[in-house]
């Protein structure tokens, strides 16, 4: 009996020890797994933007989530800052400008930055003060027209006024004339210049203002109902269109960075196009290679694995279904079939 009792104690202690060791092993394994999960830190990519038209970046973050990448927007109010911030290393990428603006900024300031992916076009529109005029034909001598103050968008605005028949510019100046290059005023208008983001605020004091789609959207303007003339963004009839495509920009040394290329790939997807089209109602035209300029072609969720990364592309492949400049009267609401607007 005594021997059996001792044997029972020994067996009990052995079982208890084994159970304890098993429990410790399970806990250590769980802790290790949790630790491994905890060390998978998210990669944050700081992207500089201007304006409040950023819904597409929420969709992009959804697509990047499986790769544990997150875009963090750094918002600026002045177009002059994001390129400097990128060049100085304060942000990783920016996405606010078209190719013409980028080229001019690099030339003027010597930035070592480069475009790594096409995004969209934001056509300029002539937005009218509805208390003063309701059509382009009503512009008269003495009327005040506000245009962007920077060289590329200011020249673009003057070419739009020329297309509308209001002024004529020196053809030798190409697509970036200045006020000094106006050779004839068919209407003796007063052209004032202001920073692009402020033009909508000046509209109550002007007859009209020439505003791009992004700034118009931020100001609550409708690119179809509130315009009386819209920029031609058809590459077959406007050879300047390739330079009007907005781009994602990186420091030149980082142009092949794998994470940044995944950001570009996520942007250039049907799901992002769907977000842009449904959110901005024609303020932008998706202009990357493979974008469908006429409709949403895919409503299914797309991951970055399904998105094809591309090199910098030309506009002629991307915006083949856009419209020529269109005269509108907004005494009646203009339909989206009459004009397509987009930066």
Q: What's the mean pLDDT in 2-10?
A: 41
pLDDT band per the 50, 70, 90 thresholds, residue 281: confident
Share of the chain above pLDDT 90, in %: 66
Domain assignment present for residue 251? The answer is yes
Answer whether residue 228 shows pLDDT above 50.
Answer: yes
Residues contacting residue 82 through CB under 8 Å, at least 6 positions apart: 48, 49, 50, 76, 91, 94, 96, 97
| Residue ranges making up the domain that contains 145 | 124-234
305 or 134, greater pLDDT: 134
Residues 166 and 309 in one domain: no
- 324 located within any domain: no
Task: Decide: 338 and 227 in contact? Cβ < 8 Å.
Answer: no
Both 245 and 97 in a single domain? yes
**Do 91 and 226 belong to one domain?**
no
Q: Is residue 306 one of the residues assigned to a domain?
A: yes
For residue 23, name the pLDDT band (cuts at 50, 70, 90).
Answer: very low
More confident residue, 298 or 215: 215
Shared domain for 225 and 245, answered yes or no, is no
Same domain, 194 and 218: yes
Using the 3D structure, point to which of 209, 234, 259 is the last residue of a domain.
234
Together in a domain, 115 and 137:
no
Kindly state whether residues 184 and 57 are assigned to the same domain. no
Alpha helices in the chain (DSSP H): 2-38, 55-64, 81-88, 99-109, 151-163, 199-202, 213-218, 258-267, 270-280
What's the pTM? 0.73
The pLDDT, as a whole number, for residue 224 is: 87
Q: What is the CATH number of the domain that holds 74?
A: 3.40.190.10
Q: Is 343 a member of any domain?
A: no
Residue 74 lies in a domain: yes
Output 244 or 331, whichever has higher pLDDT. Answer: 244
Higher pLDDT, 175 or 126: 126
Listed residue (258, 269, 317) closest to 297, CA to CA? 269
Q: Which of 8-17, 54-63, 114-123 has the lowest mean pLDDT?
A: 8-17
Q: pLDDT value at position 294? A: 54
Domain closes at, from 185, 209, 234: 234
CB neighbours (10 Å) of residue 310? 16
Q: Any residues with CB less than 8 A from the CB of 49 and at least 6 apart, and which?
A: 57, 73, 74, 75, 76, 82, 94, 95, 96
Q: Are residues 139 and 178 in the same domain?
A: yes
If one counts the domains in the chain, the total is 2
Considering only residues 61 and 39, tell me which one the structure prediction assigns the higher pLDDT: 61
Predicted pLDDT at 302: 38
The reply to whether 133 and 225 lie within a common domain is yes
What are the pLDDT digits (tens) for 177-197?
A: 999 999 999 999 999 999 998
Whether 54 shows a pLDDT value over 70: the answer reads yes
The CA distance from 126 to 24, in Å, is 73
In a domain, 2, yes or no: no
Residue 21 lies inside a defined structural domain of this protein? no
Residues 117 and 133 in one domain: no
Which of residues 183, 201, 234 is at a domain's end? Answer: 234
User: Is 218 in the same domain as 191?
Assistant: yes
Helix (H) or strand (E) holding 48: strand 43-50
pLDDT (tens digit per residue) in 81-105: 999 999 999 999 999 999 999 999 9
**Number of residues in the chain:** 343
- What would the mean pLDDT of 311-339 be, rounded to a whole number? 39
Same domain, 97 and 230: no
Average pLDDT score, the chain: 81
Is 95 a member of any domain?
Answer: yes
């Amino acid at each position: 009996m005594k021997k059996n009792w001792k044997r029972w104690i020994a067996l009990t202690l052995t079982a208890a020890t084994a159970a304890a060791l098993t429990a410790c092993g399970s806990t250590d394994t769980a802790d290790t797994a949790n630790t491994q999960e905890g060390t998978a830190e998210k990669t944050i990519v700081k992207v500089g933007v201007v304006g409040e038209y950023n819904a597409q970046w929420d969709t992009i973050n959804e697509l990047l989530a499986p790769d544990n990448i997150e875009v963090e927007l750094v918002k600026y109010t002045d177009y002059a800052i994001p390129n400097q911030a990128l060049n100085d290393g304060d942000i990783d990428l920016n996405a606010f400008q078209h190719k013409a603006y980028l080229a001019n900024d690099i030339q003027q300031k010597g930035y070592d930055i480069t475009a790594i992916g096409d995004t969209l076009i934001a056509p300029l529109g002539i937005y009218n003060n509805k208390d003063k005029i309701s059509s382009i034909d009503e512009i008269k001598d003495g009327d005040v027209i506000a245009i962007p103050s920077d060289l590329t968008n200011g020249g673009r605005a003057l070419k739009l006024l020329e297309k509308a028949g209001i002024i004529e510019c020196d053809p030798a100046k190409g697509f970036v004339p200045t006020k000094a290059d106006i050779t004839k005023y068919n209407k003796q208008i007063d052209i004032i210049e202001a920073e692009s983001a402020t033009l909508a605020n000046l509209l109550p004091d002007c007859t009209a203002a020439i505003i791009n789609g992004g700034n118009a959207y931020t100001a609550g303007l409708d690119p179809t109902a509130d315009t009386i003339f819209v920029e031609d963004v058809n590459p077959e009839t406007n050879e300047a269109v390739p330079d009007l495509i907005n781009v994602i920009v990186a420091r030149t040394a980082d142009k092949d960075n794998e994470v940044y290329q995944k950001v570009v790939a996520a942007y250039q997807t049907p799901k992002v196009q769907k977000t842009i089209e449904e959110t901005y109602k024609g303020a932008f035209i998706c202009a990357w290679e493979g974008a469908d300029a006429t409709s949403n072609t895919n409503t299914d969720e797309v991951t970055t694995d399904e998105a094809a990364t591309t090199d910098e592309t030309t506009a002629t492949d991307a915006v083949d279904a856009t419209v020529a400049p269109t005269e509108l009267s907004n005494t009646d609401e203009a339909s989206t079939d009459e004009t397509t607007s987009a930066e």
